[in-house]
Every structure is written in structure tokens, then in C-alpha cells.
């Protein structure tokens, strides 16, 4: 049997326009598949995040509670910025008084601003769940739109490919606490505009559109934007290798469009870029060895914790933690992808997708490629980039996000061939269409996501959640939770709408004022260390405070610019209260905390 000519799937051709019928069907009928896609993708997102929705304020979603706590604080801070017109790129409301450079951490400024009404009305916990849910659904819908309009002719195929991009193990795993990674709802449109560089058109208009999209993504996630730039570079390399003449011919127009887009992006992002690389509390590099977060080759043939065929019994040596399971496609999908690229190798888009997917996968393995455990291994291509500026701050495993998107598009193309009947028989005897259908099912069903876990969140005192702190702490001044602990500070700050500053926190910052090498957090002040010793029993009761420790406590609350010190319910509350009385004089009961007014010491 002779195969029918496949439809155009090269992203340089608007295949959807070429396939438009002369007499289009009625508008409601055309929109019906789109409505189905919206419902399916939204239902999938709610399935993944559903356990968090059962008790928004009482439970934390996913396997990384600290990451959710930090991102809730970021959303609370964004709403605070909107309400008070403050700087969205730097704050002193965490790590008081030195502050945190939000551009060298997870900024999510644009999602935070868009969700500010939700945060102000319903709290950061609700806003976080809305964001995590809409990230998955929005990413899927964006891919569906681009695939159905510009890549494949069958909308069911576009939906399957989009679901692969949005609910792949990579995005479900990162839904454990990384909204900046899962917020990819602009990425498909940027990819499409980059692909249009090879077409005719108006360079100024196209450059402005691309620049606007890139600028918006900058304020969603700089990290994902950088990974996208690497993906485009890999795809460009593949394009040049497979079609050198076409690439050379398109270069002048492409450069003109990129020049306009780059100029607009630099104009919009100049100040936040300065803040990221030169501003206060900026940092360079990542505090850990890149290979610590590298994937193992076997991870591509295994299944993730949050997939139907995976589970907690999987081999946890293949990724740094559950959140970084960015590969985990399983043997069937890998074999299907190899077979699809071999079968459709004459199509330029498929060749570029295969090249990009493999190259990104190799980079995700770090400096040394190992099968399952770290060892001597084989030198990997990441060695070519290791230590370069910006790259040195990457989490290496996230190169696999590029492979995920490439595989999703490839699945859409294969599904399109299946549903359009363009799959021939092999040697005129074996019907390939049923075999391809079975192969797709075997490859994709085991990857179906399972609901993320949810656990009870630590209690934040009513003094904070009900706003009682406002009578004792001036706006922007510091409330010190006892014991002084990073995540307690972050949780209290988020619950208080980022209306007060907190000491320490959960963030990446410089090692010291003279060394901008990245590190986690800061060293605790002497009084914070003292209170931790009391809280953990390393300093047994009765607690005796020396004159030197009392003097140091006054210096520390002055350093923090504190207005009040608050002690909530705690197993060693009596010992802590005794120590605080000795440092600051008798405390008093206010709502459900003991409070020490330290304003006379700090003003």
C-alpha cells in the first residue's frame, strides 16, 4: 500500500491555514473541540492538585512544603507591592534588615500581580493553589492552541500532545512546589513566533510581538526563559545541520526580527536585569555541585513518583529529589519516540525535534553520564557549559524540560497520523495503524499523573492571621517569631500578608558582603542561636541569661529593626519565656502569643 502524503508539520509553514476548507463549518461546531480541550485540561489540573483543595488553609500540597511556604510568601509580597506600590524586585521584608534580591530567587512577579486580588481577598494559600492549578491547565491550553492551529490538523491529536506537555512527569513533579517552572503558558507562543522567523512578513511587527512575549515571560520565570533560549539554540543548530541553505537564506530577516525583539526586551527588563546581576544581595552561581542535581540515564527509562506506573517504591537515586524528576518517561515512550523519528525522518520538524530532545537529555545528565549511580562514567556535553555565567546557576536536571516539550509535539504528530489514516501498511501486509494505536496507549497510559500528596501545615498563631500584629508592629518593621527559624519566619510573613518584616528566611543570597557566591539563607544571629538552643533542650531549664547575652539580645533586636518579639505555643514555652523575660523584661499575653515590646530598644 502506498502512503498518502503526510500533512505539513514544519513549524515554518502555517499548516492550519493550508488545510482550511473552502466552506468552513459553522462556528459553534468548530469551537466544540476547543471547549472539550479546556474541560479536559482543567479537569486534569484539578486531579493533580485536588488534595490541596480539600483544605486550602490547613494543608500543604506536594512533597516540598518549604517551597510552597516560600512561594506563598512571594505571592503575599506581590499583593503587598500592588497595594503599596513598592519595589517588586527587592525587599527587606524577609532577611531583615539586609533583605532579599527577588530577581536572583523565584520572582513570579507577573503571576503575583495578576493574582493580587485573590491574595488580598482570600490569602496566599488560596492564591498558590489557584496558580498551581492554572499553570498546568494554562500550559496545556497554550500547547493545544499552537499545535491545533499550526502543527497538526486533528484537534484530538493536538489535545493528546498538549496533555503530554502539561502533565508529563516533569511538570507534575515540579508541581510539588515550583510554580515558576510549571508556569509555561507563554512558552508555546514564543516557540511559534521564533519558528516564524523563517517566514516572510513584517520584521518590525513580528519583532515587537516576540519581544512583548519574551518580556512577559521574563516576569513569570527568568529560569524558564533561559531554558527556552537554550532550547531555541539547540533547535537552531539542528535546523542549520539539516537545512543549511534555508537557514542561511532566512538569516537576514531572522536577525532583523530578533534585533527588534531584543531591543524591546532590554528596554523593558533593564532595571530588573541590573538588580539581578549588580543589585543589593545579588548572588552568582548555585550553592551546590551541578552534578548533585543531574539526572541519571536510567531515569529516562523509569517512571516518576507521581505517575500511574511509578510510586514511592521507585529508584530515588535517579534524581536529586521528587521535585526534580524531570525525565522518567519509561521504556515504551522512549522506544516509540525513536521509532517515530525513524519513520518520519524525512520531515524536517521531526528531525529537529529528535535532535533537540536527545541533546537536551544529554545535557541533563551533568558533567558525567552515569546509568544509575554517580561514578566515573562517561564525560557529558554539559562540561562545555559548566562554569559559564548564568549557566552556573542552573539546576542541570531541568534541561529535560526541553526534551519533555519536544516529545509532546512528537506525540501530537504521531497521533495526527493515526487519526487521519495516513499510516500505511508495512510491506503491504501488516496493518500499522492498530499497532501505532497500541504503542501510543502502552507508552502514555503509564505516565498518567496521580494526585499530589497533601499534609497538614504548621500552625500560625491567630495573632498573625487575624491581624492583631498591626497594633504592635509598624508597617515595614520587624516581628520576631520565637524560636527564630527560617521557615517559621516565612510562614508568619505570608500569613500576615507580608505586612511586617521577618528575620532570616528561605532564599538564595550572597555568601557575604564581599563574596557574591550563592548560598542558602544566612547565619543566625547570636540571640537566634541562643533561643534555638533553649527550644531544642540543648540549653536546659532553668535558663540563665548572662549580662553579655542580654546585651547581645538588645543589639540583635536593634539589628533586626524589631518592634516586637512573639512566642506562640511551644513544647518548651516556659523555658523560652523565661529566657525572653531575662533579655527584654516581662512579656504579656496578647491573643494566643506572649509578646515583648522591644520598641524602646530599637527606635
Listing DSSP states for 105-122 in one string gives S---HHHHHHTHHHHHHH
Nearest CA-CA partner of 18 in 31, 9, 29, 5: 9
Cis peptide before 483, with omega less than 30 degrees from 0?
A: yes
Strands (DSSP E) along 425-521, which ranges? Answer: 425-426, 430-431, 454-456, 478-481, 508-512, 515-520
Nearest CA-CA partner of 329 in 311, 303, 356: 303
Give Cα separations from 351 to 152, 341, 358 (angstroms).
16, 7, 11
Specify the pLDDT at position 15: 43
Q: CB atoms < 10 A from the CB of 113, how many?
A: 17
Q: Which residues make beta-bridge pairs with 512?
A: 515
CA 467 distance to own-chain centroid: 31
Q: For the segment 556-575, what is each residue's pLDDT rounded down to a tens digit?
A: 999 999 999 999 999 999 99
Specify the pLDDT at position 3: 42
User: What is the reported pTM?
Assistant: 0.92
Q: Which residues make beta-bridge pairs with 590?
A: 593
Give Cα separations from 471 to 299, 571, 589, 603 (angstroms).
53, 27, 14, 16
Low-confidence ranges of the chain (pLDDT < 50): 1-10, 12-25, 427
Q: For the segment 2-56, what is each residue's pLDDT rounded down to a tens digit?
A: 444 444 444 544 444 444 444 444 556 668 899 999 999 999 999 999 999 999 9
Integer Cα distance of 588 and 471 in angstroms: 14
Say how many Å lie between the first and final Cα of the chain, rounded: 87
Q: Three-class SS string for 367-432?
A: CEECCCCCCCCEECHHHHCCCCCCHHHCCHHHHHHHHHHHHHHHHHHHHHHHHHCCCCEECCCEEH
Specify the pLDDT at position 375: 72
Length of the chain: 603
Integer Cα distance of 233 and 253 in angstroms: 17
CB 124 within 8 A of CB 494: yes
Could you tell me the three cell numbers for 471? 497594633
Integer Cα distance of 448 and 549 in angstroms: 57
Specify the pLDDT at position 426: 55
Amino acid at each position: 500500500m502506498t502512503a498518502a502524503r503526510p500533512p505539513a508539520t514544519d513549524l515554518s509553514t502555517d499548516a492550519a491555514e493550508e488545510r482550511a476548507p473552502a466552506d468552513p463549518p459553522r462556528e459553534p461546531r468548530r469551537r466544540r473541540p476547543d471547549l472539550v480541550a479546556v474541560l479536559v485540561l482543567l479537569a486534569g489540573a484539578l486531579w493533580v492538585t485536588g488534595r490541596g483543595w480539600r483544605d486550602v488553609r490547613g494543608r500543604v500540597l506536594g512533597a516540598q512544603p518549604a517551597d510552597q511556604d516560600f512561594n506563598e510568601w512571594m505571592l503575599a509580597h506581590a499583593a503587598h507591592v500592588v497595594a503599596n506600590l513598592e519595589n517588586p524586585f527587592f525587599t527587606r521584608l524577609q532577611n531583615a534588615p539586609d533583605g532579599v534580591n527577588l530577581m536572583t530567587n523565584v520572582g513570579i512577579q507577573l503571576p503575583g500581580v495578576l493574582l493580587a486580588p485573590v491574595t488580598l481577598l482570600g490569602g496566599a494559600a488560596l492564591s498558590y493553589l489557584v496558580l498551581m492549578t492554572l499553570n498546568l491547565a494554562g500550559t496545556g491550553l497554550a500547547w493545544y492552541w499552537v499545535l491545533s492551529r499550526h502543527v497538526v490538523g486533528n484537534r484530538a491529536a493536538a489535545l493528546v500532545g498538549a496533555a503530554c506537555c502539561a502533565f508529563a512527569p516533569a511538570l507534575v513533579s515540579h508541581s510539588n512546589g515550583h510554580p515558576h517552572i510549571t508556569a509555561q503558558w507563554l512558552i508555546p507562543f514564543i516557540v511559534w513566533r521564533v519558528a516564524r522567523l523563517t517566514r516572510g512578513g513584517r520584521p518590525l511587527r513580528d519583532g515587537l510581538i516576540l519581544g512583548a512575549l519574551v518580556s512577559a515571560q521574563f516576569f513569570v520565570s527568568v529560569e524558564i526563559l533561559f531554558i527556552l533560549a537554550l532550547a531555541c539554540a539547540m533547535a537552531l543548530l539542528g535546523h542549520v545541520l539539516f537545512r543549511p541553505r534555508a537557514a542561511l537564506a532566512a538569516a537576514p530577516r531572522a536577525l532583523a526580527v530578533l534585533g527588534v525583539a531584543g531591543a524591546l526586551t532590554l528596554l523593558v527588563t533593564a532595571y530588573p536585569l541590573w538588580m539581578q546581576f549588580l543589585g543589593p544581595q545579588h548572588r552568582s552561581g548555585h550553592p551546590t555541585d551541578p552534578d548533585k542535581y543531574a539526572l541519571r540515564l536510567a531515569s529516562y527509562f523509569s517512571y516518576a513518583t507521581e505517575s500511574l506506573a511509578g510510586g514511592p517504591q521507585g529508584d530515588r537515586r535517579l534524581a536529586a529529589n521528587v521535585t526534580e524528576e524531570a525525565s522518567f518517561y519509561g521504556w515504551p515512550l522512549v522506544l516509540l519516540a525513536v521509532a517515530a523519528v525513524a519513520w518520519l525522518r524525512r520531515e524536517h520538524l521531526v528531525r529537529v525535534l529528535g535532535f533537540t530532545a536527545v541533546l537536551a537529555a544529554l545535557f541533563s545528565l551533568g558533567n558525567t553520564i552515569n546509568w544509575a549511580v554517580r561514578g566515573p562514567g562517561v564525560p557529558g556535553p554539559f562540561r562545555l557549559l559548566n562554569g559559564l555565567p548564568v549557566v552556573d546557576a542552573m539546576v542541570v536536571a531541568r534541561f529535560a524540560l526541553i526534551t519533555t516539550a519536544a516529545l509532546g509535539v512528537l506525540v501530537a504528530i504521531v497521533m495526527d497520523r493515526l487519526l487521519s489514516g495516513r499510516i500505511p501498511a508495512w510491506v503491504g501486509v501488516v496493518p500499522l495503524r492498530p499497532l501505532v494505536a497500541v504503542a501510543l496507549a502502552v507508552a502514555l497510559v503509564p505516565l498518567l499523573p496521580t494526585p499530589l500528596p497533601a499534609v497538614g501545615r504548621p500552625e500560625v498563631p491567630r495573632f498573625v492571621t487575624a491581624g492583631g500584629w498591626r497594633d504592635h508592629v509598624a508597617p515595614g518593621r520587624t516581628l520576631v517569631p520565637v524560636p527564630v527559624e527560617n521557615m517559621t519566619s516565612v510562614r508568619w510573613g505570608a500569613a500576615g500578608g507580608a505586612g511586617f518584616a521577618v528575620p532570616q528566611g528561605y532564599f538564595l543570597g550572597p555568601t557575604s558582603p564581599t563574596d557574591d557566591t550563592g548560598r542558602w539563607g544566612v547565619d543566625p544571629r547570636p540571640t537566634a542561636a541562643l533561643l534555638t538552643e533553649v527550644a531544642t533542650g540543648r540549653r536546659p531549664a532553668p535558663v540563665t541569661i548572662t549580662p553579655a547575652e542580654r546585651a547581645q539580645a538588645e543589639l540583635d533586636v536593634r539589628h533586626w529593626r524589631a518592634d516586637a518579639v512573639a512566642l506562640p505555643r511551644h513544647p518548651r514555652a516556659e523555658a523560652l519565656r523565661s529566657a525572653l523575660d531575662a533579655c527584654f523584661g516581662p512579656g504579656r499575653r496578647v491573643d494566643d502569643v506572649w509578646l515583648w515590646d522591644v520598641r524602646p530598644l530599637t527606635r
